[in-house]
Structure 1
Amino acid sequence: MENKEILIKAQEYIKETFLKEGTGHDYYHIERVVTNARRILQTEQANSFTVQLAAWLHDLGDKKLNNGIDKSEELISSFLKSLAVEQSIIDRVIEIVSQVSFSKGNKPSSIEAEIVQDADRLDAIGAIGIARCFAYGGSKNCILYSPDEKEKENSSIQHFYDKLFKLKGLMNTESAKLIAAKRHLFMEEYIAEFYREV
């Protein structure tokens, strides 16, 4: 199977699997990550096919969507084997995906992993990131906000401080850093307005 056809099959499978997902990790999130990755690829020397394939599959088996159990390796391997993808490519994609997550804290070991990590993190900040933060919080029964020190730890607003405001400084590629700077500023303005209204 040609690389282009594999990418089309991956897109179709992800759309079928994630279309109705309600935590902010839906098909359109994944599609945006692929778009971000393609944008970064324009200024980076990397294996475009591997980057795009890993971007399409980066949430497949994610522990956040599987009751705390990481099934990435199992599900990615099974899907790609069904398309008769070479084992070396399967291993490469699994390696990249294992280095994307913020919570795992893994440093990317290749430019391909750096691009996919950046592409995913860009979708966690800015206007889209704000919307996804509240969608995810709602799906996990997190409170929106509380001035109470004990309660605020489990709030969607606290997530800005625990993760979202840190992402700008964790981008790997120059093009992602430029995009992140603008999106970060928007989040700062949003939070300032949020507190004014509160």
Structure 2
Amino acid sequence: MELAQWQHRFERWLDENHFTDDTAHDIAHFRRVWMTAQGIMADEDSDPLVVLTACYFHDIVSLPKNHPERSHSSRLAARKTREILSRDFPDFPPDRYAAVEHAIEAHSFSAGIAPQSLEAKIVQDADRLEALGAIGLARVFAVSGALGAALFDADAPFA
């Protein structure tokens, strides 16, 4: 199956099944991470299906930044992604499950998991680059607002 067909199927599944108020980790975020990943992997010998899948499902579980289990989000997302792939995408190649799971687990800064594969490094870099620039700044404000965090603390102006 062509990569574009997988992307279309993943987007359709997310539209029908992934409902979130978290605008920092929605389908638009997944698309931007994938767009960035494509640029990174253009000159690399990586598995594009693994990268695409990890980009679209890396934050399928995303616990709030102030959640005590936040550092486990990427592991939970990896586990849920395998369940989704095996249940809802039975034609997805099972020999790629482990690579997708690792790329998802390692993308997260808070998980502290070092990426061991080229695909995991690409997804991690793409996700981190997505946190920069105007969109990244907008995501910071969205997350801060959702957490009820103050915009500025006079007692800790550089915090």
Amino acid at match of 1:90: Y
* Match 1:76 to one of 76, 81, 86: 81
Task: Please report how far the alpha carbon of residue 25 of structure 1 lies from its aligned counterpart in structure 2 after TM superposition.
Answer: 1.1
Find the residue that maps to 1:143 and give its secondary structure.
coil
Matches within 5 A, 1:91-170: 91-149=98-156, 158=159
Structure 2: runs of 5 or more not aligned:
none
Amino acid at match of 2:79: E
Count residues with an aligned counterpart.
150
Verify the 8 A CA contact 1:96 1:112 in the aligned structure 2: yes
CA RMSD of aligned residues (A): 2.2
Question: How much identity, in percent, do the aligned residues show?
Answer: 29
> How far apart are the structure 1 equivalents of 2:152 and 2:16?
34
Verify the 8 A CA contact 1:61 1:76 in the aligned structure 2: no
The 1:34/1:54 distance shift into structure 2, 3 A limit, reads same
Verify the 8 A CA contact 2:58 2:78 in the aligned structure 1: no
Relative CO higher for 1 or 2, CA cutoff 8 Å, sep ≥ 6?
A: 2
Q: Which residue in the other structure is 1:33 paired with? A: 33
Find the residue that maps to 1:30 and give its secondary structure.
helix
Amino acid at match of 2:37: A
Structure 1: runs of 5 or more not aligned:
159-198
Verify the 8 A CA contact 2:102 2:115 in the aligned structure 1: no
Amino acid at match of 1:41: M
Superposed CA deviations along residues 84-137 of structure 1, whole A, max 9, x for unmatched, are 123321221111100000111221101111100011001111111111001001
Residue 47 (1) aligns with residue 47 (2)? yes
The 1:148/1:23 distance shift into structure 2, 3 A limit, reads farther
Task: Please report how far the alpha carbon of residue 59 of structure 1 lies from its aligned counterpart in structure 2 after TM superposition.
Answer: 0.5
Q: Which residue in the other structure is 1:178 paired with? A: none
- What TM-score does the superposition give when structure 2 sets the normalisation length? 0.83
Please tell me whether Structure 1 or Structure 2 has the larger radius of gyration of its CA atoms.
Answer: 1
> How far apart are the structure 1 equivalents of 2:60 and 2:81?
7
The 1:95/1:3 distance shift into structure 2, 3 A limit, reads farther
Residue 59 (1) aligns with residue 49 (2)? no
Amino acid at match of 1:43: D
Task: Please report how far the alpha carbon of residue 56 of structure 1 lies from its aligned counterpart in structure 2 after TM superposition.
Answer: 0.8
